[in-house]
Homo-oligomer: A and B are copies of this chain.
Amino acid sequence: MTPIDLYGICPFVTSQKVLTGKWSMYIMYLLQDGPIRFNALKRKMPEEMTHTTLSRQLKSLEQEGLVVRTAYTQVPPKVEYELSDIGRQFEPVLKALGNWGEAYIEYLKKQ
């Protein structure tokens, strides 16, 4: 039986890949403020996240087309990350998710 692959067809199944990264939503949220250097972004992340992981997640977001990476050829290196066009279109999702997250935190407190 041929399994039905909804990737590229169903918007929810397709966008799921973007959401899976443990820190992806928080990264996208922080990138909304404009271009930022790697280490500056790292400092804004929770300390549990190593630079290895941040590097991987950024690479992943870059390959998915949500993030643009710009490397300046200089010593020491300077690399900036920013949202792409389709990445900026993600803003309504972040807004809705942020609102819901706050409501959910309140819900958790009452449990």
Contacts A98-B12, A100-B15 given; does A46 touch B92 at CB 8 Å: no
- Which residue of the partner chain, among B11, B23, B26, contacts A105 with CB atoms under 8 Å? B11
The count of chain A contact residues (Cβ–Cβ below 8 Å) is 48
- A79-111, CB < 8 A from B: 86, 89-90, 92-105, 107-109, 111
- Which residue of the partner chain, among B1, B4, B26, B108, contacts A12 with CB atoms under 8 Å? B26
Majority-rule SS of A interface residues: helix
Q: List 29 contacting pairs A-B, 8 Å CB cutoff, sorted by A.
A: A1-B47, A3-B46, A4-B47, A5-B46, A6-B26, A8-B105, A10-B26, A10-B101, A11-B97, A11-B98, A11-B101, A11-B104, A12-B97, A12-B98, A13-B26, A13-B46, A14-B104, A14-B108, A15-B101, A16-B22, A16-B26, A18-B104, A19-B20, A19-B25, A20-B20, A65-B107, A86-B103, A89-B100, A92-B99
